Amino acid sequence: MTFLDQLRTAERQNGSLLCVGLDPEPAKFPAHLKGDASKIYDFCAAIVDATADLVISFKPQIAYFAAHRAEDQLEKLMEHMRRTAPQVPIILDAKRGDIGSTAEQYAKEAFERYGADAVTLSPFMGFDSVQPYLKYHGKGAFLLCRTSNPGGDDLQPQRLLDVPGQPRLYEHIASLAQGPWNLNGQLGLVVGATYPAEIERVRALAPTLPLLIPGVGAQGGDAVATVKAGWKSANGETTAPIVVNSSRAILYAASGADFASAARQEALRTREILQAATR
């Protein structure tokens, strides 16, 4: 089953567009775990177990593990997710952007060491920074396109004067991902929930690609506007999945021993809002 097939299956089985981002910060853990980086796996596994039937994907952010020398805990968490929630694809949020043999090693890290189903990439160095990941049949790669941070304005909406039609940079990335770069149907795009008009534009340029949409929840993105901009249907089913990520609002929904059940309730609430927007 390809990554795109996995997304569609999880969307249908769990009735969800919600992705839970796993960004563990020990300083924000509930009281009985707070400040203890050795409990990163325990915290994240509890969140996974509480929400596995509510999501279209999980998205562990590699820096939150590496900063605490917790790569072994990430490996253990990936194994746990594959074993207990095999229907839910895993996106490794790494935002790699190198080329050549270095990119090959990053691809090996994502897909062989950690066993991710997809990875996030920066396409700034061009197709050379994407191609090594496409050698892994069935795996996915989400390219940064129009991101949710304010600093994205420094580059992403600027026009490319030497390209026919003078598209904005993010529009050009979307067109390349939909077209010549998408050799085996493995690519998707990252577009921020804080820019619904741009999400709509990207969807028009890349109608068949999955969209990973961070920024809902703590970052202030409007969940309903996000879905209406990016989710398109045919006969009541999505034509290309959207994966709407929420991290902190779910992970840290409560600070007590009930943190996992509180995370489940917040995930339920968010899933319902997202699903309602498709009707």
Place of tokens 């009707």: 279
Q: Which of 28, 76, 95, 228 is the catalytic position? A: 95
d(Cα 213, Cα 146) in Å, to the nearest integer? 10
The DSSP bridge pattern shows strands 237-238 and 233-234 to be: antiparallel
Q: What φ, ψ does residue 2 adopt, rounded to 5°?
A: -75, 165
Query: Are the beta carbons of 212 and 243 closer than 8 angstroms?
Result: yes
Active site residue 95: yes
d(Cα 235, Cα 156) in Å, to the nearest integer? 34
212-247 burial, b for 16+ CB within 10 Å, e for fewer?
Answer: bbbbbbebebbbebbbebbbeeeeeebebbbbbbbb
Between the alpha carbon of residue 17 and those of residues 52, 217, 250, the distances in Å are 13, 14, 15
How many CB atoms lie under 10 A from the CB of residue 75? 15
Residues with a known catalytic role: 95
